[in-house]
Amino acid sequence: MMNTMTTDELTIAIAVPLEAEFVGLIRAVDPAITVLYDPDLLPPERFPADHAGDPDFERTPEQEERYWAMLNRAQVLYGFPNESPAGLARIAGSNPHLQWIHAMAAGAGGAVKASGLDTETLQKFRVTTSAGVHALPLAEFSTFGILNGFKRSAEMAQDQAAKFWPELRTPTKLVNGSKLVITGLGEIGMETARIARALGMRVSGTKRNVEEIDGLENVTGNDGLPGLLADADAVVNTLPGTPYTEKLFNRDIFSAMQRGTVFVNVGRGTVVDEEALLEALDNGQVSYACLDVFAVEPLPQDSPLWSHPRVLVSPHTSALSSAENRLIAERFCSNLRTFLAGGELPHLVDPVHFY
């Protein structure tokens, strides 16, 4: 349990681009807190929720000094400095009274790991993620991927481009009554399950801490995944990239799927062996793949995934929505109230395993 923080000693610094109206939401949590915000020191957003901002933005030496002086005054940061692992590493060394950083990403563990900070240093302050903020857009995208696969949108697009009207009509797959397996029944997975069930799908999935979940047919650990896949019509991966999930979807797992399975990945690209996925696509085990994440990003130009006729490539943007900055600010405000009350912050990054 954290000690209760008195508001007259709490300073929050906004380290990433954020609209003034959402800074106002943070200030309104408690009038006694100090919120440091200087938009002149932050790069302009190129699109909604552009947390890194314009890469061509450069601070003058005087602005750079002011930016770091502002961050070093705060006990709490909204965003990683410069939205980068290097910025996190620098602030960890320069701000001795840092207590908490709220990250913009749901999967901020990768950036924390990339900072190179040791476990002892990382245990001096907390890092929370924006997990959950992206659950609905990711769940909607996952549903879009399932529907694309079941309704043969890739084939129809090819026929349309060729102005080809087939003589024999090919039926599409019915979503209602089909079986979906979700790897990772966290907030994204559960939101995906909610929408899938509304469409009449039967849903099972995997969870690190196995437990019965109301409305789901079967919940297992990852070791039970082959059994779940044997009669699944679609699979959605939401798992983060960790040493325990790396290439979880390998040749053996794809071989465990029934022919024609639709595969969607909104977790992390490292969870999938892409060579094995391509083999599964080519041999018909996987009928369609809707991919928002890849082992290497941006996806290399020579990747066969770009041109595969039954693959949709999304440039890791499916979590984005015009409401993101508001949703993250609201999540931060909720966390801030918990922090001020001395409660346990949700969605903490594990300083050892980085998830």
Which residues are the active-site residues?
268, 297, 316
| Helix/strand/coil for 23 | helix
The helix or strand, by DSSP H or E, that contains position 262, with its residue range, turns out to be strand 261-265
Report phi then psi at 48, rounded to 5: -55, 135
Nearest to 156 by CA among 170, 145, 144: 170
Which alpha helices (DSSP H) does the chain contain, by range?
20-27, 61-72, 85-94, 109-114, 119-122, 135-150, 153-161, 187-198, 225-229, 251-256, 274-282, 324-340
Helix 135-150 / helix 153-161 crossing angle, nearest 10 deg: 60
- CB atoms near residue 92 (< 10 Å): 21
| Helix/strand/coil for 88 | helix
Separation in Å, CA 13 to CA 37, 62, 74, 87: 6, 18, 6, 14
How far apart, in whole angstroms, are the C-alpha atoms of residue 347 and residue 129?
A: 6
- Residue-by-residue DSSP string for 273-304: -HHHHHHHHHTTSEEEEEES--SSSSPPTT-G
Alpha-carbon dihedral sign for residues 211, 213, 216, 222: negative
CA 205 to chain centre: 18
How far apart, in whole angstroms, are the C-alpha atoms of residue 120 and residue 145?
A: 42
Nearest to 286 by CA among 309, 320, 315, 318: 309
